[in-house]
Structure 1
Amino acid sequence: MTTKSPWLVTYQARTSAERRLIAFPHAGGSASFFRPWASHLDDTLELSVVQYPGREGRMAEPLVPSMAELATAVAEALAADGTARETILLGHSMGAAVAYETLRLLEASGSSAVTRLCVSGRQPDGAETITSPRLRTDRELLSSMSELGGTRAAVLDDPDLREMVLDIARNDYYLVDSYRRDPDAVPLGTEVVALMGDGDAQTDPRRMQEWSSVTTGPFSLSVFTGGHFFLAEHVASVLSVATAAGVGSR
C-alpha cells in the first residue's frame, strides 16, 4: 500500500499502468473496503481509493460535514496528483455522489483525464428527500446499517468500535441527507455507467436511468444480483464493467 496524498490510498502501486481507477467509499466506509479489488486488476490498471478524514490512517482528522467541502478537497487532491493517465471514477452509495461532484469540479477546471464515471447503489437524488436534515440517533443509524449490510457484526458488537463507527456514520448520513444535486448543473462530458443490485431497496432501475441526464456522453445501466452491497459479491464482474475498453477509453 502506498499513499502520496492523505486523500488517496493506492493498493499494489503500478506506476507504469496505463489507466487508474479511483474508488469512493460509502457512508461510514473507508478505503480498506476496496482493498481486495487490487488483486483483480492486471498491470495496465492501478487502484487508488479516496480516504475520507476521520477513519483509518486519518482518524485524528476532523470529519467533513458537507458535500461541497468534501468534493472540493478530493478534486484538489486529484488535480495535484499531476498524472495524465486515463482515469475512471467509481463511487458506491454516498461515494457515487462524491464522485459525481468531484468530476463536476474537475471538468469545470478543464481536466479531461476522467473518461468514465461509475455510480453504484445510489440514484441521482438519493432514495428519499429529507426536507429538514438532522443528525440521526444511534437507533436510527443501527437500523439503517443493519438493513443495508456492509458493516461486520463484530464491529457493532464491540462498544468502543461501535461508538467510533456510529460517529463516522452519523456525520456521513447527515452529509448525504443535506446534499442536493443542482438540477441546473452543467452536464458532464464523460461516459456514465450506473450499477445496482436487483434486491437493493435504495435503488430503482427507472430512477437509476436518470443518471443519463447528468451527461452529454454515453450512458448504460448494469444490474447485478444482490442487495445494497452487491458489489462485494461481484467484484470481478463489477470491475469488468467499470474498466471495459470502449466509449470511455481512449
Structure 2
Amino acid sequence: MSLGLNLEPCLAAGQPSRAWFRVPVPRPGAAWRILCLPHAGGSASFFQPWAKVLPEDAELVVVQYPGREERIEEACIDDMAAMVAALAQALGQMPALLAKPYVLFGHSMGAAVAYELCLALQRRRLPLPCGLAVSASEGPGRARPGTLHSAADAALLADVVRLNGRLEHLLASPELAALVLPALRSDYRLIETYAAAPPAFAPVHVPVLALIGREDGELGEDDARAWARVGRRGFALQAFPGGHFYLSGCYPALSKRLARLAAARLPWHPADSPLP
C-alpha cells in the first residue's frame, strides 16, 4: 500500500459537490469509460493528468472517497463492507454511469475496493465492467495485514513518507499533516483490517488484468498473479516501467491497454452484463 496525496480540488462535472463521482474532462460522446478507484490517501484530483491524455473516445470517471478535498467535512469510511455498499448504492442510483462500456480500475488499495465492488455489482445484477483492472495490488490471500492504523501519528506519517518520498513535506508541516491524517488513518484501517480477514476467493465474471510497475519494491509478480484465482473470464498481467506509482509516467500506454480490454466486449449492452 502506498500513498500519493493531492489536495487540489477536482471539478464535479455537473454532479452535486458531495457526489461520489468526478469527471475531470467530460466527454459526452465517449464510447467507453474508465471508472477509477484511488489508492489509500488518494483523491480524485490525483488522476487529473490521466483525463487529459485519454483517447477522444474515452472518458475518465473517478470515485471521490468521503473525507478529502471537497468532501473533507464528511466522515471517512474505514470499513471495506461499508465503503463498497455505499459505492454500489451510488452506482445503482446513477445508471447513466453504467450505460456505456466501462473498465473498472483500482490502484493499490483501490484495487481491493474495485474487486469487492465488482462482486457487489454481480450480486445486485447491475451492468458489469468489460474488465477489472487491478493495479499495484496483491491478489486475494496475498495481502499482508498490519496495525499502522492504530499507531501514533508520527509512526503513521513516517510510513507514508517511507512509501512515497514526495510526501516528506508532511513531516515539516503539522497543519498539513493534521488535515490529511484522518483520511490516511481511515484508509489504513480499511485496507489493513480487510487484509486480516480470511479471503473468500469469490470469482468475478469478467476478465481480470493485473498491472504492476517493474521496479515496485512493495509488490512481487507472484503476488499480482494471485489475481488469476478470481478471474472467471480470464487473466492477464502486464508490467510497466516504474515503481508503485508507475501509472503517473505511463498514462498513455496504460490507456491503450485498457482500451483493448474494453474493446474485447464491444458492442455492449447493459442486458449482457448481469450474471449469476
Q: Which residue of 2 aligns with 1:10?
A: 23
Letter in 2 for 1:34: F
Cα distance in 1, alignment partners of residues 169 and 121 from structure 2: 39
Cα distance in 1, alignment partners of residues 165 and 259 from structure 2: 23
Aligned residues: 249
The answer on 1:195 being equivalent to 2:211 is yes
Letter in 2 for 1:9: R
Cα distance in 2, alignment partners of residues 65 and 197 from structure 1: 27
- Which structure 1 segments of 5+ residues have no match? none
Shift of 1:78: 1.6
After TM superposition, the score normalised by the length of structure 1 is 0.91
Letter in 1 for 2:85: T
Q: Which residue of 1 aligns with 2:190?
A: 175
Single out whichever of 19-28 and 141-150 deviates more from structure 2.
141-150
Cα distance in 1, alignment partners of residues 172 and 58 from structure 2: 37
Confirm or deny: 8 A CA contact 1:192 1:212 kept in the other structure. Answer: yes
After TM superposition, the score normalised by the length of structure 2 is 0.83
Q: In the superposition, relative to structure 1, how do residues 99 and 4 fare at CA in structure 2: closer, same or farther (>3 Å)?
A: same
Cα distance in 2, alignment partners of residues 243 and 162 from structure 1: 38
Q: Which residue of 2 aligns with 1:138?
A: 153
Letter in 1 for 2:122: E
Confirm or deny: 8 A CA contact 2:201 2:229 kept in the other structure. Answer: no
**Correspondence 1:26-45 to 2 at 5 A:** 26-45=39-58
Q: Deviations over 1:8-52 (max 9, x none)?
A: 011111122111111111111110000111111133111110000
Q: Which residue of 2 aligns with 1:212?
A: 228
Letter in 2 for 1:103: C
Cα distance in 1, alignment partners of residues 92 and 234 from structure 2: 24
Shift of 1:196: 0.9
Of 200, 204, 214, 1:184 maps to: 200
3-state SS, counterpart of residue 150 of structure 2: coil
Cα distance in 2, alignment partners of residues 241 and 210 from structure 1: 20
Q: In the superposition, relative to structure 1, how do residues 182 and 112 fare at CA in structure 2: closer, same or farther (>3 Å)?
A: farther
Confirm or deny: 8 A CA contact 1:20 1:87 kept in the other structure. Answer: yes
Confirm or deny: 8 A CA contact 1:91 1:120 kept in the other structure. Answer: yes
3-state SS, counterpart of residue 48 of structure 1: strand
The answer on 1:99 being equivalent to 2:114 is yes
Shift of 1:150: 7.2
Confirm or deny: 8 A CA contact 1:191 1:248 kept in the other structure. Answer: no
Q: Compute the RMSD of aligned alpha carbons.
A: 2.0
Q: Which residue of 2 aligns with 1:85?
A: 100
Q: Which residue of 2 aligns with 1:61?
A: 74
Cα distance in 2, alignment partners of residues 114 and 182 from structure 1: 26
